[in-house]
Structure 1
Amino acid sequence: MTVRLYDTKAAALRDFIPLRDGEVGLYVCGPTVQSSPHIGHLRSALVYDQLRRWLNYRGYAVTLVRNVTDIDDKILDAAALEGGSEQWWARAYRYELEFTAGYTALGIQPPTYEPRATASIPQMQEIIARLIDNGHAYAAQDGSGDVYFDVKSWPSYGELTRQSIDNMEAAADADPRAKRDARDFALWKGHKESEPESAAFTSPWGAGRPGWHIECSAMSRRYLGPAFDIHGGGLDLRFPHHENELAQSTAAGDAFANYWVHNGLVNINGQKMSKSLGNSVYAADLLSAARPIVVRYYLGSAHYRSTIDFNDGSLAEAEAALDRITGFFERVDRRLTGTRFVGGGAPVIPDAFAEAMDDDLAIPQALAVLHDTVRSGNAALDAEDLEAAATARGHVLAMTEVLGINPSTPEWNTGGTSAADAALAKLVERLIADRQAARAAKDFAAADRIRDELTSAGITIEDSQTGSHWSIEQ
């Protein structure tokens, strides 16, 4: 029952041992709300939802903190490009709501806390002051109000990504003129005349706003304490963001994260997703292309550390996989109706599934167990082994519940039936009624012809004690 996670900092699988028995503190870098969420944002949030659900299953009480970066260069620049038609903070909130809607649609559980950066300015300033006192930060001498982290003062800088400071490029997060070293990064950014007054906060170093990296150090400390269990985020955040977080927090005297977990990115048709290529897939487009449960299945089916490739067939494959699960539930529930096995067996996670999930959240292997169980359950139904079928149903229910893909959960059944689906169902059910009438009249040739026509169209007919039922072949 030991959960193992790949720790990026150690570059190895480690047994997960929480700092406090039975509790897990998990901090995840959330979005910078400058524009609409894309497929990569959804994938990252889903990964940590899966991890949280599994840790819950293993008996841990998880405190998940996912921040919102609501003040940043990109947010201010985007608002400025619109000529002041929308305040930066209003723009940030508008996009924050879009992110929340996307998470909710995918069944991603709300975080325990979802702090905005602008609500933790005093905590950021407190860490900056400690860094200055400890000799690891300095205020610029040009009167700009900028404060920088002195990377050469911290010998461990680069340990997360195993880089030598001599091989690093200059930090591009502030004007380099006031820096002692071009690789020093901004902790506090003095207010500029070109920026709105509403983006300036008072500080001991002058009016200004926080640098990006200090925001997460302050919010993780505020909500989880100076030491916590797991820090998560996308692989693209390892450097410089997470490297800088680690350096400034530990240099300020905090133990910070005990494990570093990073999820892989999303490619589009074999290419890296980027604005310059114009190949971004946005959450709204993705969720309009398929049912949300299908999108969740697709985004959550690969190993979390792998890069996934989104292409035209991705959602169709996920839809087919879910249809096999749904079809089994429908079939087994029909057959068990009126028997002592009605409702299926106890919802128990199979050992093989648990072993896969414990092994660094190996969801592809866990899904293989799930689909093997669906196949064995269908075979049991074919053999009229109702006890085995009921047991399989309980296993499938437990596995889909912990993965958040149980198709019978009410949250996945709010969209209704499409007009095309309704028309197909009406036609098929009319043909099934005609077949039943032919069988009753002992016109077996007509009944067989109707069945053959349905089969040729990819419709499977199953005759049972409760009547004839149809499904689309997968």
Structure 2
Amino acid sequence: MTTIRLHNTKTRRREDFVPIDPANVRMYLCGPTVYDRAHLGNARPSLVFDVLFRLMREVYGADHVTYVRNFTDVDDKINARAAESGRAIGDITAETIGWYYEDMDALGVLRPTHEPRATGYIAQMITMITDLIAKDNAYEAEGHVLFAVDSYADYGALSGRSTDDMIAGARVEVAPYKRNPMDFVLWKPSGDGQPGWDSPWGYGRPGWHIECSAMAHDLLGESFDIHGGGNDLQFPHHENEIAQSCCAHPQGEFARYWIHNEMLQVEGKKMSKSLGNFFTIRDLLDEGVPGEVIRLVMLGTNYGKTMDWTESRRAEAEGTLRKWYGILHGHGFGPKLIDALKADGKWQSDAEFIGVLANDLNTPGAIARLHVLSKGKTPAALAGFAHGLEMLGLVSDWADIPLFEGGEAGPDIAPAIAARVDALLADRAKARAAKDWGRADEVRDILTTAGVQVTDVGGQATWAPGPDFDAAKLGDL
């Protein structure tokens, strides 16, 4: 069986993934707060966990993976949006969840096994809060219930922050009823026009953090394998989840592995409305950027590194997919051919592709491997390539393989042109081996000028024609 290695935020090192129960690998992702359209950064954790979900299903079997991603549908941001618009909270959350599905479907994101909504788990939250009070891990004060951070000795271990750092850098509400400034709200009173439920502490609603602990426990148990989200959730959200869950269920581990993705930039700058570089997934789709292109750009950077969305990367991704989809169309890939390959035992993953992907979700390396696999000359030889595209979510429906605008399946690369590029790459490799850096740079410049996109992984170079590919600039053929 393939060994999966993941960087565990909890231990700050890369570890072999060993599931609690190989027959039921369990993972939880903090999902969206549903009050507005998902922007590009919101999509990254969903894409990361989608690839992880696909990999787990490939290694352990589709029926042996349980994936939970929640919807936060009770939150002060939602309340504020309702007050501003005059619309009912239920209408806003229902509409926003519909938008989220549309956008994630366009990006090829699979639906998780369970998609709980916070409002459906209020009873479980009340039960957990009651238990925490009974164990002196929480207390009631002025209609609020707060978790007593001092009652959990390991608080701060996930993020590695001191108490002073946490107070300085967190969204910590200072209130006179708190015993400790770090204590966080488990339950708070609701006023007129705010959603609320009856509880032992009066009419109110849950704080932000308790929902994920209650839903994870109900759907995955006291101990499960993987929990994750964006880096911005490490503190306070995930830190608070750990504290309340481990105090409520001290015999469990809560999550054994923590996976956090880095943030996103646009053209080298933080995405923000003030800089005019803020856009949603829907903005890109409406501008004509295919969902597959958005997905490939985002998978082109390892989840643990900051991703930079640039126009050049978008164009490069579109050129790559134009070529790849052209190969599939040119060899007749579709449901009948896939069924035939399966019947012949040839529809299977490429071992090297899976091995690269299993090394801490190395999506850039997996993409580089697809460039190599795309050079197959027959459908059987291309089976690993096609399977890899499906694994990365770049083909969702074999009956409807994308064919980009104008019906073009990609540039027609004549054998002589391909041979010229291969010869230049061989020349560059020879020059590098001889440490003839002048010649290596000369060849590199020829390829760059001609619009050839070269990927170097593990000492092996692969190439694809970019959007500005011009064979005439390759020199003598």
TM-score by length of 1: 0.79
**1:358-373 equivalence runs, <5 A:** 358-373=358-373
Shift of 1:166: 3.5
Task: Give the SS at the match of 1:158.
Answer: coil
- Amino acid paired to 1:135: D
Task: Give the SS at the match of 1:25.
Answer: strand
Task: Give the SS at the match of 2:381.
Answer: helix
Deviations 1:57-108 (A, max 9, x none): 11242111110000111111122122xx201222122111111111111221
Distance 2:206 2:401 in 1: 40
- Amino acid paired to 1:236: D
Distance 1:291 1:412 in 2: 12
**1:75-86 equivalence runs, <5 A:** 75-82=78-85, 85-86=86-87
- Amino acid paired to 1:346: K
Give the aligned partner of residue 399 of structure 2: 410
Give the conservation status (yes or no) of the 8 Å contact 1:173–1:186: no
Q: Which runs of 5+ in 2 are unaligned?
A: 334-339, 413-450, 452-465, 470-477
Among candidates 193, 196, 206, match of residue 193 of structure 2: 196
Give the aligned partner of residue 262 of structure 2: 264
Give the aligned partner of residue 327 of structure 1: 326
Task: Give the SS at the match of 2:311.
Answer: coil
Task: Give the SS at the match of 1:305.
Answer: coil
Deviations 1:317-365 (A, max 9, x none): 111111221233344459xxxxxx9999823322221211121111111
**1:1-12 equivalence runs, <5 A:** 1-12=2-13
Distance 2:368 2:467 in 1: 22
Say which one has the larger Rg. Answer: 1
- Amino acid paired to 1:240: P
Q: Percent identity?
A: 39
1:411 and 1:106, CA in 2 relative to 1: closer, same or farther beyond 3 A?
farther
Distance 1:275 1:213 in 2: 27
Distance 2:341 2:226 in 1: 42
Give the conservation status (yes or no) of the 8 Å contact 2:341–2:347: no
Shift of 1:212: 0.4
Task: Give the SS at the match of 2:325.
Answer: helix
1:406 and 1:97, CA in 2 relative to 1: closer, same or farther beyond 3 A?
closer
Shift of 1:174: 4.7
Deviations 1:405-425 (A, max 9, x none): 138723554xx875xx16x89
Shift of 1:156: 0.5
Distance 1:293 1:146 in 2: 46
Task: Give the SS at the match of 1:295.
Answer: helix
Shift of 1:34: 1.6
Give the aligned partner of residue 401 of structure 1: 390
**1:238-257 equivalence runs, <5 A:** 238-253=234-249, 254-257=252-255
Give the conservation status (yes or no) of the 8 Å contact 2:173–2:181: no
**1:17-166 equivalence runs, <5 A:** 17-60=18-61, 61-82=64-85, 85-140=86-141, 143=142, 145-166=143-164
Distance 2:47 2:371 in 1: 21
Give the aligned partner of residue 281 of structure 2: 283
Give the conservation status (yes or no) of the 8 Å contact 1:345–1:390: no
Shift of 1:30: 0.4
1:222 and 1:332, CA in 2 relative to 1: closer, same or farther beyond 3 A?
same
Which deviates more, 12-21 or 297-306?
Answer: 297-306
Give the aligned partner of residue 297 of structure 1: 296
Distance 2:172 2:83 in 1: 18
Give the aligned partner of residue 446 of structure 1: none
Shift of 1:256: 0.8
Give the aligned partner of residue 423 of structure 2: none
Shift of 1:162: 1.1
Q: Which runs of 5+ in 1 are unaligned?
A: 335-340, 382-388, 429-457, 459-470
Shift of 1:153: 1.7
